[in-house]
Amino acid sequence: MAKTMTKEEISSALPLQFRGRVSTKLVNEVNNIIQTTELGDCYKEQFMWFGNILADSRFSLDNYVNAVKYVSLKSLGHTNASAWGATFPDRFRRLKAMGKTNKEIHNHVRSYSGTALVTKMLAQAMVPAWLVNQHNFQDAINVQVDLMHNAKSETVRCNAANSIIQNLNKPEVQEIEMTHNVVTDNEASAIEVYKKAAKELAQAQLKALKNGVTLDVIANSKIVQEEKEDVWVL
């Protein structure tokens, strides 16, 4: 069973304006998803990963909790329909009890999967973590620089300096080996054949010209190669 999240952990994943809104009810709801579904640690990771999306004040925490569940289920291979049914089981049962057809229920699924919140999450899921967290990377570097200069412990200052060196080290220059005018044996052989054929054509044209053949006929003459029949080994 996956470890539950504390109120502090949940708050730390959210933008500042949402941290004071984390209620005990919401904490219990999040941990219920973690412990009673197949999601477990996957949900925890996604909850932390998508928190920056809430900077858009259009979204509520309740909607965020559900959207993370839906997208997490999809990341585990669920279809839109099965992910939606697992995210909103009460709504699914209610629609079934009302006699709604699968097509009508799929309309609800399609509508939810196209919402702004879900769309943003799915788009961010395709972005590398380092790209989304560039600002955090710079903050971490700033902390290391401060420790390098101001920490009382020599060990801490040394570790901070090493961390900065490792993360900001100049990229290694990768050598690209380039070879010019390299041809295979087959290509060389083909070139020699064409050179020989061209020479023979020129000689034939000169001879034809001496024998009174017009320039138009000579100009339209072509190199003719003898084609060998393919041999199939059965």
Angle made by CA atoms 144, 145, 148, in degrees to the nearest 5: 85
The segments of the chain whose pLDDT lies below 50 read 129, 131-132, 176, 178-179, 225-234
Q: What is the pLDDT of residue 19?
A: 85
Q: Which residues contact 232 (CB under 8 A, 6 or more apart)?
A: none
Residue 85 and residue 70 share a domain? yes
Residue 90 and residue 151 share a domain? no
Residue 206 and residue 102 share a domain? no
Q: Is residue 224 one of the residues assigned to a domain?
A: no
Domain limits for position 201: 188-219
Q: Which residues contact 84 (CB under 8 A, 6 or more apart)?
A: 70, 92, 108, 109, 112, 113
Residue 145 and residue 117 share a domain? no
Residue 146 and residue 97 share a domain? no
Residue 114 and residue 78 share a domain? yes
CA dihedral 96, 102, 106, 107 (to 10 degrees): -80
Number of domains making up the chain: 3
pLDDT tens digits, one per residue of 139-173: 777 888 888 889 888 888 888 888 877 777 765 65
Cα separation of 203 and 198, whole Å? 9
- Tokens 């003459």 appear where? 221
CA 147 to chain centre: 35
Q: What is the pLDDT of residue 224?
A: 53
Q: What is the pLDDT of residue 141?
A: 79
